[in-house]
Amino acid sequence: MKIVVTGGAGFIGSHLVDELVRTGNEVLVIDHYQREKLRFENPSATIHKISFGHESLEQIFAAERPDAVVHLAAQISVTASIVDPLYDAQRNILESLRLVQIAAKAGCHRFIFVSSGGAIYGDHPVRPTPLLDDAYPLSPYGVAKFSFEHYLEGFKEQYGLKPISLRFANVFGPRQQLKSTGEGNVMAVYLARIIQGEPVVIFGDGSATRDYVYVRDAVSAIIAALASDVTGIVNIGTGIGISVQEVYDTIMDIHGDRHPLIYEPFRKGEVFHSVIDPATGRESLGWEAKVSFREGMEKMYAWFMEHFGKRN
């Protein structure tokens, strides 16, 4: 299969490209390389160092005629979407819609959109949160993700595509970096502070929770979607809430000593609890998470220390 992966030199995308290449697929990477962070290139993939909104994209698709697209690239910062919602909509709705049109025109039959369960469901009272059609996102980022999912649903008949949107919980693991990119989750923040010798900060009392999916499991969900004809929206999570305090305690246990810790007031606008019910992933794609939070955190810690610093 010939597959286009937008954002294919970044965190999740590079892991996906490695697996797709390993299993004998022809892979084309679309990645703009503009953020100040490491990029991860697979030498067997064809790499186009352009944005997915670049004017040359139509010519690339017309020449390559891919079978499928995995759309990972996006404006990825919730905070940035609040500051500049027009730019967020430009990237996450308008340019993404153009990508769909280009893919359909080139004869692509499968479109996989990597969405966000956390941003779409927000601080939902039902946890784990099941698949919901009537979610009310709180940020422009979540609204854009939610909107694009529904555009895709409408394109089934219009373009003859088979689209699927995967609402991921928080993905973590090796190659996730902390720069001014919006990519780093709380683990990346804490690991960076440990390396830099700065105190770790917990906002609130440490009881806020998130659902964490290890990157290898995230990749396996995308692979399962590529192998299926399932369309619509699917939740991808573990159904397990891990508190901020548990994250800190796990990292400290792996690190081997207690790093300075500061508690500060909970930040307004932050989601307090986000846990995703994985039932639709299991029922629709036969997918379930395999890697425990502890095992994934050990791998992420080892990678961070190897690439960004030594233990303090």
Amino acid at site 116: S
User: Which string of DSSP letters, residue by residue, matches 189-254?
Assistant: HHHHHHHHTPPEEEESSS--EE-EEEHHHHHHHHHHHHTS---EEEEE--S--EEHHHHHHHHHHH
In whole angstroms, what is the distance from residue 253 CA to residue 272 CA?
A: 24
Q: Which residues pair with 201 in a beta bridge?
A: 262
- Find all residues with CB under 8 Å of 186, minimum gap 6, and list them: 210, 244, 247
Distance CA 11, CA 81 (A): 20
How many whole angstroms separate alpha carbon 41 and alpha carbon 34? 15
214 is catalytic: no
Nearest to 224 by CA among 20, 76, 12: 20
Query: Is residue 118 within 8 Å of 75, Cβ to Cβ?
Result: no
Half-sphere exposure of 288 (CA within 13 A, CB side): 8
Which of these, 47, 46, 42, lies nearest to 16 by C-alpha position? Answer: 42
- Pick the catalytic residue: 141, 159, 212, 248? 141
DSSP label at residue 24: T
Spatial distance between the Cα atoms of 62 and 4, rounded to a whole number of angstroms: 12
Q: Provide the annotated active-site residues.
A: 141
